[in-house]
A and B are shown apart, each in its own frame.
Chain A
């Protein structure tokens, strides 16, 4: 399956590839852009000397110095606020929020400032910042180490929200995000940091080195924003998903034997509508899968878009498989996380209805 993955319009230079985890791929992206552009600075809680609680920034301070990669006080509002000021000066800051669950104190700076600076000043000032946040569940993270807050960002005009599902895309998308002159929320599914995860928590974890998408070019390349990937081509139904759920959906397709076409959105908003519409028009059925809670989640927007653009081709109601409308629990992790059984059941329903 993996050799069939299409990465349309990948911009790449001649470079050798090697196996990388998502952590290594993200670190490589930071390394590559820091080497290319002296205006890129990396900071956040524990990202400097220690190299980040997930090791994403390991070695960067030693290589680029304390003024390019440094520790920040525990203040999300401050981290994003100073990033906005640095961006206005002309730097290209990459700020880290340790967990997506902790971005809330920075909401005002993200929504009222970063997202609107270009608009309100009519382009007089811009905000070329990237805010990295580990997100998602499936790791017994409980309520405040598991959330998927993407819908809180996609609702904000002026922000771009990006969420990779594998090391190759993670590096290419992060480079594209940093080089983008718009503010980008870069969500990293921490469940995928060390290997893909299909929801079978009772099976041993497979490392990225066993997957083609774990082969990552060492040098510079970009995966363009606003471009989805057909993660698994199929003919019977379309799955719209991103992050960890890409792998869960692929597993559900295998286990149900349903020939699902899995679209990995990669850029959640603004998104690649053409790829979505072309697929649903072809299959006539659509299942949307995300970890985030259901009500007013991003799946609702996807469902509305598909309904609007593919109404006459739809042969069954659009299905949504998501987290429940509850805070993320600890002990009941696997009853909460939308695993391959729940996703597969939705595939079956979509196939049965007409």
Chain B
């Protein structure tokens, strides 16, 4: 006779699959303005409650409320909204370009624009970002890199700064504080910590910002980075963009069921926040807080940004095969652009009319950039960087065996 029932393997499932609605109650949403703001020198265990709450600033009426409402002027807010709109329009245009086979591949950040744009604005020039492939807002909110250059990379054309070596979207722009993107998930997380350690070793004032998605937190490098960041009190912001999905896998399969990703930080001795990622003001305020902590030698901060991957994972993905088609409409934190737009209208520094006008201007700007970039060729017309460049930059100087191989190719 068995004393215990048979054991059962638990395999998490999302509540919503194609044809039925997602139950978003698992998100544990606190009301805007209800979560306290600790001083930047707080200890990690004093942030334990914040790791299970949700910091928000913008309420349903578009008002900025509570202790996290940041000091930010109208000019900055308008800049932020414009950058988010630009990012979304750029994404839409490049997705079409992929369908027209002008580029082989693309990845949108639809619905996640506030996170990269607001943090990019909250950090200082010289702070280094170690992004994933879904933080294009960092580049599109600044003027260091033109859209033409970005599109040349996407088209792997003769003017591609990465010389056609990288898959589209895998940008590298040191001058824009944007570290080279790798296809291998999570690797940049400990690298960001190392960069921050180097800044501390040299007595610099610059900090690092690490980026990762919810799914990639399951990679060993996530754990490694948290350990090193805590051990050496590295001046780094550890961003976890929880968009609920890793391709087709719901965040519960990454380890999010009945817990939060922010809570991991507390467990590793790192002050941690869980923030509404679709609330531009909350993103800006939490980023500023974490940056101030890092810059004043208080150590690292982990921030889980709660958002929703509104678009397909990539141009190679069809989300209707694994989640409800209307999921984003039901997502309780809404659309970051609509929410900031409503706030600016409440403040009287934006209008529907201006919104429409700016939208048109940006569409024209992106279209013009695409046209200029296409002047340098695309995969479609075969105007790609010379095959001789295959052999360059493997090493600082070309070793003999690569010289021979280049000759063998006859270039």
Contacts and interface: CB of A to CB of B under 8 A. Distances in A.
Interface residues on chain B, size class: 35 or more
Interface in A62-103: 67-68, 72-73, 75, 77-78, 81-91, 93
Given A125-B179, A270-B401, A273-B400, A118 B190 contact: no
Given A85-B198, A89-B199, A109-B187, A119 B394 contact: yes
B396 A126 contact: yes
B112 to A, nearest CB: 24
Contact of B394 (A82, A83, A121, A157): A157
Query: Which of B128, B202, B208: most chain A Cβ within 10 A?
Result: B202
B94 interface: no
Query: Which of B172, B192, B221, B224: most chain A Cβ within 10 A?
Result: B224
Contact of A117 (B161, B180, B228): B180
Contacts of B187: 81, 108-109, 112-113
B174 A124 contact: yes
Interface residues on chain A, size class: 35 or more
A87 B179 CA distance: 12
A9 interface: no
A105 interface: yes
B195 interface: yes
A121 B401 CA distance: 22
B163 A122 contact: yes
B201 A67 contact: yes
A84 B227 contact: no
A120 B197 contact: no
A41 interface: yes
Given A88-B179, A118-B396, A124 B193 contact: no
Contacts of B161: 122, 124
Interface string B112-146: 00000000000000001010000000000000000
Query: Which of B180, B183, B227, B228: most chain A Cβ within 10 A?
Result: B180
A81 B191 contact: yes
B193 A226 contact: no
A82 B184 contact: no
Contacts of A204: none
Nearest to B395: A182
Interface in B203-225: 208, 220-221, 224-225
Nearest to A82: B194
Contact of B228 (A75, A121, A158, A226): A75
Given A113-B187, A157-B394, A125 B193 contact: no
B198 A91 contact: yes
A116 B181 CA distance: 11
B165 interface: yes
B198 A86 contact: yes
Contact of A81 (B170, B194, B393): B194
A77 B162 contact: no
Given A120-B180, A121-B172, A125-B180, A78 B393 contact: no
Contacts of B346: none
A247 B93 CA distance: 65
B349 interface: no
Contacts of B22: none
Contacts of A105: 220
Contacts of B130: 85
A88 B191 contact: yes
Contact of B198 (A77, A89, A116, A119): A89
A181 interface: yes
Given A73-B231, A78-B224, A124-B173, A88 B394 contact: no
Contacts, number: 143
A182 B130 CA distance: 21
A75 B184 contact: no
A285 interface: no
A32 to B, nearest CB: 20
Contacts of A85: 130, 190-198, 208
A160 interface: yes
A277 to B, nearest CB: 11
A158 B225 contact: no
A125 B184 CA distance: 17
A302 to B, nearest CB: 13
Given A78-B224, A78-B225, A85-B192, A120 B396 contact: no
Contact of A226 (B170, B192, B199, B399): B399
A88 B210 CA distance: 14
Nearest to B174: A124
A116 B166 CA distance: 11
B201 A77 contact: no
Contacts of B173: 124
A125 B201 contact: no
Interface in A238-253: none
A81 B227 CA distance: 12
B162 A82 contact: no
A18 to B, nearest CB: 32
B221 A108 contact: yes
Contacts of B128: 88-89
A82 B399 contact: no
A109 B165 contact: no
28 contacts: A73-B228, A73-B231, A75-B228, A77-B190, A77-B220, A78-B190, A81-B189, A81-B225, A82-B193, A82-B197, A84-B191, A85-B193, A85-B197, A85-B198, A86-B195, A86-B197, A86-B198, A90-B198, A91-B201, A93-B194, A113-B187, A116-B182, A120-B162, A122-B172, A125-B172, A157-B394, A158-B394, A226-B400
Given A78-B228, A226-B400, 17 more contacts: A41-B198, A67-B200, A77-B224, A78-B224, A81-B225, A82-B193, A82-B194, A84-B194, A85-B191, A86-B197, A88-B191, A108-B187, A116-B182, A117-B180, A121-B162, A180-B396, A270-B399
Q: Which 6 A-B pairs have the closest CB atoms?
A: A85-B194, A81-B190, A82-B194, A85-B191, A89-B198, A121-B172
